[in-house]
Amino acid sequence: MKLFRKYIFLIICCIFFSKIFSQQVEMPVIESINVNLNTQKVVIRWSVQFPDSVDGYIIKRQIWNVPGVVDGTFNTIATITDPRIFIYEDTSSQFGEAKPTFRPEFYRIAAYRMLNGIKKISLMSDIHSTIFLTPIKFDICELKNTLNWNHYVGWGDSLKEYKIYQRFSASDVPILLTTVPKNDTTFIHSNLSDKISYFYCVEAVNVNEKITAISNQASKKVYFPHPPSFMNADFGTVLQENQIQLSFTVDTSHTNKGFKLVESSEINGQYSEIAFFEKPSIPKIVFNDTANTSSQVHFYKLIAVSVCNSEWKESNIAHNIVLRSSTSSEKPKINNLIWNTYQTWRGGVEKYKLYRSLDNENFELRDTLSAKDSIYMDDVSNLTNIKKGMVCYYVEAEEKDENPYQIKGFSRSNVECVAQNTELFLPNAFNPNSDVEENRIFKPNVSFVKDFYLIIYSRWGNIIFESKNPDIGWDGKSEGNLVPKGVYVYYLKYITSLNQVFERVGAITLIY
């Protein structure tokens, strides 16, 4: 009897558990989650063993940053009512659109079945995620693209490897670049070409090689750094004593860190940096350098520096002109001038212009010389109007109109002054009533002096005339009236252009 009861109890239990089991809904298995390369939308693929035993599927996505939703929870974004549909493209916007191009997206799926008007839901599937390929990093110095992505989540040990694909437009057929081990999430693409857009995606491969998962697409247009297409040293010119102004015209359209200005005392010597111009916005670079301009030639050039700190390209050289002068020992009243020629213009020198100033007055054009000239002898013997004895010069070079960048340079030398020896002639008599005009006035004939002072004394030692202007002499009068004829004493003091002080005392005879 007891055995019969146990037997009945076991039958009832079997029927009970069989009924419970028959009410369980099969859990779907996510096969892969891909990103559609054309739409950049997430595509989910799954399977069930007995599709006839379910009525549909519930798609859930992990939600972030949505008001009223706990971050990181899985929420339903779609319900599939056809049990024989095993693919879904996520276009849901209820909790905001999926963003597989900005982050990995995580999904789970459950199946459901309606039993006696009640929706029975299966267990949730394992979590699967998209592969998020981060923005491509281009190394401008190494000329390489670096790809980084997250591991595909959901396959576990069934993940076999990753394949890296590339295409040259968003619509091209992807080309396999390489395959990397399953533990890698980085790939460096080298051997790139300039001004080319590279489109990449990463494909995870299951041990069942028919199952794959493709990432979002990330692209990068590559621009190689290039040296400036041109760099021209326009000129080096003496702005004022011990100051050289430099001008350069450069191409600023390329990827440069900037331009380094270097200087040397020899054209082929060792150059040292004196200034740096970081990414100039205009094509003209102007710099004033403090340097010896009277005796030293200074050579300058610009060096383009890449963003990778390598020296790319050099300009031609700019330099100053040093003018030197001396008086001639063989030919009195000849000023000898010599200067270094301007050597480094791309167009070459067209001519030199020599400017001269007398007694520190305005400079005037003295002569125009050929590009081959670097020596000039200036005859100043006829410059009777020079009183201070100082003749100053500078040379200005002009570039030919053959510069390939249509730039015309100029370069002005230092100012060089020549002091001539003072000349003095003193008459010993004069006649205010003479028929010859130059004999009517007592005036020392003096030239090349910086300072002048003349005094006439009467025979009793009184001052009857004085002048500080070598052009104004004594006409024989005192207080507007002619003085008696006779011998008078003069005192003359002058300072030469070489700063020598001279004094003379003598007699002058006034006759009628």
Using one digit for the tens of pLDDT, what is the confidence trace for 304-334? 999 999 999 999 999 999 999 988 766 668 8
Whole-angstrom distance, CA of residue 340 vs CA of residue 323: 7
Domain range 26-129, CATH architecture: Sandwich (2.60)
Domain 423-510 fold is: Immunoglobulin-like (2.60.40)
Domain segments of the chain: what residues? Answer: 26-129, 137-222, 231-319, 323-419, 423-510
Q: What's the whole-number mean pLDDT along residues 401-428?
A: 91
Whole-angstrom distance, CA of residue 100 vs CA of residue 97: 9
Question: The whole model's pTM is what?
Answer: 0.69
| 411: β partners | 397
pLDDT at 210 over 50: yes
Could you report the per-residue pLDDT of 45-92, keeping only the tens digit for each?
A: 999 999 999 999 999 999 999 999 999 999 999 999 999 999 999 999
Pair 397, 320: CB distance under 8 Å: no
Could you report the per-residue pLDDT of 266-308, keeping only the tens digit for each?
A: 999 999 999 999 988 899 999 999 999 999 999 999 999 999 9
Number of residues written out for the chain: 512
pLDDT-based confidence at 427, cuts 50/70/90? very high
Sorted by sequence, the CB contacts under 8 Å of residue 114 that are 6+ apart come out as 55, 120
Q: How far is CA 46 from the centre of its chain?
A: 56
Strand order in the sheet with 463-467: 429-430, 501-510, 486-496, 449-457, 463-467
User: Strand, helix or coil at 76?
Assistant: strand
Return the CATH number of 323-419, one of 3.40.50.1000, 1.10.1520.10, 3.10.450.50, 2.60.40.10: 2.60.40.10
The phi and psi torsions of 15 (rounded to 5 degrees) equal -65, -40
Domain range 137-222, CATH architecture: Sandwich (2.60)
CB atoms within 10 A of CB 176: 10
Contacts 24+ apart (CB under 8 A), 383-388: 383/358, 383/447, 384/447, 385/358, 386/358, 386/359, 386/420, 386/447, 386/448, 387/359, 387/446, 387/447, 387/448, 387/449, 387/452, 387/470, 387/471, 388/359, 388/360, 388/448, 388/449, 388/450, 388/497
Q: Which helix (H) or strand (E) holds 22?
A: helix 2-23
- Of the given ranges (246-250, 409-413, 448-452, 462-466), which has the lowest mean pLDDT? 448-452
344-362 per-residue burial string, b: 16 or more CB within 10 A, e: under 16: bbbbebbebbbbbbbbeee
| CATH no. for 231-319 | 2.60.40.10
- Residue found under tokens 């520096």: 305
- Of the given ranges (173-187, 207-221, 337-351, 450-464), which has the lowest mean pLDDT? 450-464
Could you say which DSSP state residue 448 is in?
S
| 259: β partners | 277, 304
Q: What's the whole-number mean pLDDT along residues 5-25?
A: 51
- Residue found under tokens 């005796």: 295
